[in-house]
Chain A
Amino acid sequence: MQTDLGGEITRQSLTVSYIYAARYGYSGTVLHNDNQIRLFPREGEGQNPLQGELWTIPSGVGVEYSDRFGNRVHRTRIVEHHEALVIATAGQVSLATEAPAIEDMHIDEAKGQPGALEYLLPSPLVSPDTVATLAFRIASGSDSMMRVVREVTNWVYTEVEYRRGTTDVATTADQVLSVMEGVCQDKTHLALGMLRALDIPCRYVSGLLTGQTGETHSWVEFMHPMHGWIGADPTRGVIGPPARDYVKLSVGRDYTDVSPVKGSFLSKGGATEHAAIASVRFEQVSADLNEALRMLDEAYVVSTF
């Protein structure tokens, strides 16, 4: 029992509360703003959402559906005229504390799994061919799936420098390879490209880091023939972490499938600013909208236009 963290912790699971808030500024009046929001924790794979709320200011009207990756999506259309938009969500989720035991396999067993094709094909920001040469060199002929995953993850972890400001949301895996620096998103894309080049089906995960306040996080999950999706985090150099380390929001082929807010607005002006903040705390009580708004004061600027 690790009671020093303040939350209710059993041997099997840990309950945490999460907040995500984002602010968008515009230089003119926005007549309508139509967005697909992916900010609800996924269910399953060691994660169980207990409750959650989503707010927008101004408020909008919406529908909810699951996309083809099983992410819960809110499409929200705001028709009230506005010059700034806030999107915030908060809730509680229970996370498994045990790390999965992972058996090794021959590398050839990965690609033939049902449903694997989607996660082997090229995607907008990850073109496996462009990073294949390096991938083969790093794998150096190993036929052990776990060894290959470990080599690739560790290589990206140690060789690609973590640095902000040099890449953006449209940076592709091969561009990361040429600059050899970037943020978690870039490391994830590069690792995905190399693993796909080696025929290991893998996906991009967008989520939050337990116990931290700041930016959203991203990492890789690869498809294991026996255990399902297993995490590999090239930003932290971790393979097969327990569910309790992260709150998993959405999955896809790469960032373009999972961006938390994707949409369009109608205005004579343009977008001026986008700031966001994310937090996962060991608390039993879910935050409310006021708390989310207060946190926005500390938000980091994602982009300015």
Chain B
Amino acid sequence: MTTSDFTQEAEVFNEWQFPDGRPRPHYTHLAEVAEKLGTEGLAERWRSARRQVEHDAFTFYLDPKQFRLTPADWIPRIIPRNHWEAIEEGVSQRIRALNRFLFDLYNDSQDIVPPDVVFTSQYFYPEVQGFKPNKDLFVHIYGVDLVHMGDGEYYVLEDNLRIPSGISYQLKTVEMVSEIVPEFASGYDVEEYRIREAFLDMFHSLCDNPSPMCVLLTDGKYGSAFFEHRYLSEVLGIPLVEGTDLYVGYDGRVYTRTIDGDVPVDLIYRRVEDLEIFVPGLRDAYLDGKVTLVNGLGAGAADDKLVFMWVPEMIQKYLGETPILSQAPSYSMQDPESRRFVMDNLDDLVVKERQGYGGTGVYVMPDLDADRRAQVAQRILEDPDEYIAQETLDFSKHMVFNDADGVLEPRHIDLRVFAIQDGNGKVTVFPGGLTRVALPGGRITNNSSGGLCKPTWVVR
């Protein structure tokens, strides 16, 4: 097996191997299996995986007319147990601190983020002010994007609080690799977990009804994440409903239509943001305490990319702890001095739209041509409140099997880790996460921007 030449990138941490090309200890077995299967063997497994992806409709939609098979690389990414322990603790800190912040924000007592920042966030909803959700929680399911700088040093790129998506991809890729290349796992003690019990316990902890009716609200089969909605409703054993399956009754409660009649709903795991479009009256039912929403309405105020800059302060203030995960140094453009600094150093920075998501509105300036850089600069000048800049991180790369050329080649990877917090304050961080691989020569990893998924293991 050949590996493509990447000698010029020696300073970037390679998860798979030492700079001299020897596999790192926890990758030795994977490297041996890959070597033994050879190019043709791997290519054959990759082809069979593709058939299964098609068969299982493991897809995502770019728009209603265009769906794509989820592109994946089946060589697992391995996170050593000692790295994982720090990630787990760091992620737990963030979900707890963010929940406290959101509660204070909507109950008039936060003084961490300046009002002109948080009140201008698109997902800050004034109508939620004064509302106390069940158990004071706004964020029950949390997804956080991390990158590895090497030697166990992980940085947070962004928080996802409204509708964190991708946990089904985490589960599905791990599930599939054990069938496609069972040899990979044979040498490892992989950390196992179940999301079903954790999710259902969390749902129940938020409801007064001892046997609550929970449903998953989808935006429908043409939504970009429909695979995930279907998969999760099956795994969790809760009905998958569309907006038209729900209505708000005269008693103010939410009902779902079933073949056995209309059933009151206690909790909606909602995978849509604009509730009123899908279920008129749902917002008021929620604010009247007639139904629980997972995640709560208005949680998105804290995944605004400007608000992100204050998360370390939230951890210090609410938990009295030092943040375990680092954040990329970030610059607000609101202050003209820091805007000028950003303009003078623009070619080295990453620029993000405040309200962008899914890799849209992220500009890695060193990877763009001069015309594109000038366009971004112009947009910052036009609307400084809507952008932030961050230092460009040279985060880690991982080997990916390029079946077209029959080589292993290093590509940038990130990691989206999922956690839940239940009504008793218990936080569960699911081991591993969804590793996403950037396109060759790029650093943006989102599926919608053309990135690949990769199975991820935490290994003891």
Contacts and interface: CB of A to CB of B under 8 A. Distances in A.
A93 to B, nearest CB: 23
A118 interface: yes
A124 B385 CA distance: 12
A61 B126 contact: yes
B41 interface: no
Contacts of A79: 127, 276, 283
Interface stretch (B43-51, B288-296, B332-340, B415-423): B332-340
A124 B381 contact: yes
Contacts of A36: 120
A61 B274 contact: no
B382 A65 contact: no
Chain A interface size band reads 20 to 34
B336 A65 contact: no
- Of all A-B residue pairs in the complex, the 4 with the closest CB atoms, nearest first, are A65-B115, A124-B382, A118-B336, A61-B126
A261 interface: no
Contacts of A61: 126-127, 129
A161 to B, nearest CB: 28
A77 interface: yes
Contacts of A122: 381
Contacts of B404: none
B271 to A, nearest CB: 18
B125 interface: yes
Interface string B381-402: 1110100000000000000000
B10 interface: no
A273 B116 CA distance: 30
Contacts of A138: none
Nearest to B379: A124
A65 B116 contact: yes
A121 interface: yes
Nearest to A127: B381
17 contacts: A31-B276, A63-B119, A63-B129, A65-B120, A66-B115, A73-B116, A76-B126, A77-B126, A117-B337, A118-B336, A121-B339, A121-B340, A122-B381, A124-B381, A124-B382, A256-B382, A256-B383
B259 interface: no
Nearest to A32: B276
Contact of A117 (B120, B125, B276, B336): B336
Interface string B263-306: 00000000000101100000100000000000000000000000
A261 B116 CA distance: 16
A137 interface: no
A263 to B, nearest CB: 10
A164 interface: no
Contact of B126 (A60, A73, A266): A60
A58 interface: no
B126 A63 contact: yes
Contacts of B129: 61, 63
Interface in A63-77: 63, 65-68, 73, 75-77
Interface of B: 115-116, 119-120, 124-127, 129, 274, 276-277, 283, 334-337, 339-340, 381-383, 385
A31 B274 contact: yes
A251 to B, nearest CB: 15
A261 to B, nearest CB: 15
B119 A75 contact: yes
Interface centre among A68, A76, A122 (most CB of B within 10 A): A68
Interface string A112-153: 000001100111100000000000000000000000000000
Nearest to A124: B382
Given A31-B277, A32-B276, A67-B116, A77 B127 contact: yes
A77 B124 CA distance: 10
B274 A266 contact: yes
A67 B384 CA distance: 13
Contact of A121 (B283, B336, B385): B336
Contacts of A63: 115, 119, 124, 126, 129
A75 B126 contact: yes
Contacts of B276: 31-32, 79, 266
A62 interface: yes
A75 B335 CA distance: 21
Nearest to A266: B274
Interface string A24-50: 000000011000100000000000000
Contact of A68 (B116, B125, B277): B116
B334 A68 contact: yes
B43 to A, nearest CB: 48
Contacts of B382: 123-124, 256
A115 B337 CA distance: 9
